[in-house]
Structure 1
Amino acid sequence: MLVGSLRAACALALGALALAPASAALAAKRTFVVTAVEPKGGANVEKEPFPAAPLPEGGGYVLKKPNEEGRWEVSVYVFDPRQIFVDEGDEVTLQFVGVNGGSHPITIEAYGQTFELKRGHVNTVTFVADKPGRHSIICSSHQPTMISELIVAPKK
């Protein structure tokens, strides 16, 4: 009887462990490269007319009028990636690389980070993702397009 009870107790304990929620996962060290880029497109007025309506206001959009040969261009400043997903408690390192645009004044307000990113330079910031939710990474001179989101998933 004692052996049977012991087996039953062990089976119950193992079953409870299997169903129990995992304890808080160990924090991970996460590194992301975030590039400041300017995708461009262009055409000639003979094949595509120059847009009549202006683009939305802000330094994030650039629309260049046709030159002497009739070529016009449109570009937009963005971060790549646009969204970064991490878990609460992760140690996050963001390496910002300036590719296009001479200067990008960047702020990650939720984590008290403010710096200027210049073309050809790398700025690295590291912090613990201790604030669950969506947090903006903003270049103030290229709005409304140069915004990325840091999404911090809460611990379960």
Structure 2
Amino acid sequence: MSTRRYWLYLVVLLFLAGVVTVWKAPFVARDASAGQPTASSQEKKFYMVTGEFKGRYQGKKLEAYRWDPGMIVVHQGDRVHLMIRGVSGKEHPFSIEGYNVRGNVRQGHMTHVSFTANKPGTFQLICHTHPTAETNGPMIGYIVVLPR
């Protein structure tokens, strides 16, 4: 198999992984506080899911791990509530870099974490089971905090 064909199949697998995740969890990427005024700090709620997809192509194991949505955007000072449902994968222990936030998402359960986005920047939501390519990752989401 050519390298080009291998990468094409991998891209298709990742695309399908995203489609399956949305199909399995109809509330993906819904910001429950959308449409409210942005003049001051807000309560922001986000529903997320875990996605873990495995397959084989010509004897090679292909895996993809992801948070959906893969990125959320809030403003500095917002109180952020993440409700993360474990759709696939036994468990995903995680932390949010730059914030003292840790949790563990287990399949079939909802995990709730909250924090105040008190510093602007881009922060990684990282699964400690799949942090690198050597562990079939990375499984990283991003929290973008915009300055007020």
Equivalent of 2:40, from 16, 19, 26?
26
**For each residue in 1:94-135, what CA deviation from the matched residue of structure 2 results, as whole angstroms up to 9, or x when unmatched?**
011111111111111322111221101111111111110001
Equivalent of 2:109, from 114, 121, 140?
121
Residue 35 (structure 1) aligned with residue 44 (structure 2): no
Deviation at 1:143, TM superposition (A): 2.3
Pairing of 1:103-142 with structure 2 (within 5 A):
103-142=91-130
Pairing of 1:70-109 with structure 2 (within 5 A):
74-109=62-97
Structure 1: state its 5+ residue gaps.
1-23, 44-48, 52-62, 64-73
Larger Rg: 1
Q: Which TM-score applies when normalising by structure 2?
A: 0.65
**For each residue in 1:18-65, what CA deviation from the matched residue of structure 2 results, as whole angstroms up to 9, or x when unmatched?**
xxxxxx82112111112111134555xxxxx344xxxxxxxxxxx2xx
**Whole-Å separation in 2 of the counterparts to 1:97 and 1:146:** 15
Q: Which TM-score applies when normalising by structure 1?
A: 0.62
**Whole-Å separation in 2 of the counterparts to 1:128 and 1:114:** 14
- Give the number of the structure with larger relative contact order, counting CA–CA contacts within 8 Å between residues 6 or more apart: 1
Match of 2:141 in 1: 148
Match of 1:46 in 2: none
Structure 2: state its 5+ residue gaps.
1-37, 133-137
Identity of aligned residues (%): 35
SS at match of 1:32: strand
SS at match of 2:98: helix
Match of 2:26 in 1: none
Q: Post-superposition, which runs of at least 4 consecutive aligned residues in structure 1 deviate over 4 A?
A: 40-43
Question: Could you tell me whether the CA contact under 8 Å between 2:84 and 2:105 is conserved in 1?
Answer: yes
Q: What RMSD in Å do the two structures reach over aligned CA positions?
A: 1.7
Question: Could you tell me whether the CA contact under 8 Å between 2:101 and 2:115 is conserved in 1?
Answer: no
**Whole-Å separation in 1 of the counterparts to 2:147 and 2:68:** 24
